[in-house]
Structure 1
């Protein structure tokens, strides 16, 4: 891809695909759907930026995101709902499953996502008690130049025109420097990060971290070193806030639970910090995150949650090695702490842990010639990421996904066929 092309599209706020292979990136950019998706995203971001720049995003007007941003988000949610209701998944044996039903029983459902997140938080807290580690609740925010509006509703005189994306990019770059410095010092905190907007849409981070007691002070020093590198009046007080969590006064879970609920659906809260309805605030925060492609929740350290989820697909009657059986039993019981221990403990690097996700390309068979090829290209010819197939333990592969499913419109099964009573999680046959 030529530098000229990159510069030309950058003028319009569009970045080329981040593929490592330049050919794959170029092929994606020949696809009109790639451009339509980017332009729609850009349009939504412009709507939100304009609302923010003219002072319509603040606790005095609409908190977190602009009114148009919420309307665009609602319209997209309706399109998503319509797609789910009118689409089924079908395998080679003719088995059919409703996509809407699947969405109700997986992480697309905020209740299920909330439940899993809280299980993992409680699990990490239990692990910290086993290891004698200390819990910290840390809030990181950006310099004042990223904030459009003061809490009074007046324009911030220090605002430099930065967008929401600029603020998130700054936080990510500082955290990357922090993680690198901590790694060099042999400090490996674990826990979770939640990203949410200030009242004017500027991102800030809440982190629940656990670490050894002797690492608390150096951890805090490193965080402050990089977060305060851009010094200004008040930065010492507001840029970084750290609280040591005293287990005799409350659990670590209690510190972060309200932030999880506020950023998912607001069901377990009456109002947010600005005394606005929590359910309404959750919708505005979700619209903000989707518009700006911001990952709201992220695990820091610990074993792979993908491994945890795949283990939960394994049936208990299948024979497994003792070590694998322990991890599977822990995952099946929803015991994150036991899963962490079974995977080798909290300090073991990912590449040395018991299990890792296993990915492999599907095979395509030409029915006329019998030729077998790999299904490794996207619709526009770029190399695709191999689909998840299961787990790998040393040289052993454990397949958890044996079926291949294809989305089809509702009612597209052949005519004059009979659908018997649903079975196996609502599946039926054409």
Structure 2
């Protein structure tokens, strides 16, 4: 149970406070309600570029990391298709330093052309290293547009083309900042050895004077139901053939998500899973295989991926995989097998909340999605899934007409 109190500043910034007097630390987590799904299809990669730019200096603070390091703090950030998240951990005695730093860059970036030039080069190099020059690095650059035809999940957070970042101007950057990086399009979670009153005072002091902007109303093109199987074959100089198969599932907080999530665990979580037992141990077709869900806020994907043993054809491996999927789709999972993955999921959840920062990030994510209380409902929802619900979900999700399959051939 993550206990919290919440208040909202006059400029619309929502603040959540999770008190934990058992730790000497505090964390400040600021979530901006913007991810790669919010980008213009012709200017992708901006949310991720901003993750870099936000560390390049703000209106009154030229070097972000230096003052934080002096008070024993650490920071980082990440971008997803749904959100951009910045976080600081530091001794609770130095909490105000985090407020000073985060409020200044929410107020305004420095908009230094040199900073933009440097970070463009950093992101372009990251694009090349992680997505273009790494074995299997381009998988999601190809798989996303195969699975999504309308929704902006069709491109990766890095963007769909290097040129979109190369061509970004200071004007583009300024427009993006003043559209999304607003107090009324953000929320802050402060957790650790803090008090609600302390956080209220610091929030008003450092954040309340930052002007709000126009409310962002998200109107994204929605994905139409998939009605036919999709297939793509590609190849590169990689060590082994690989097989990828994805299915559309409900969004992260939609009805049925936990059923789909547990179904993925039955299929491919760990060495006792169906795919591992059937396709590695009994039939040595794959040298590794897994199944997982993307967990995106809008309807996401159940992903099955694996690399094949030498001498095994992609056609042979795909046929064997389809047999396992057919079993899940047509035969109810035994109660004991479902109970096992439930317990695994619940223990993972419990262990994740040992860390103060994880509690803060989970609370922020649920609050941004629509209801902070959802963060405390997960364990109950996991345990409530029944074998009948899983069979019904498998019947809907694991249909071939709902699948996108990619053969990735090793060309060497």
TM-score between both structures, scaled by the size of structure 1: 0.26
Flag the structure with higher helix content.
2
TM-score between both structures, scaled by the size of structure 2: 0.27
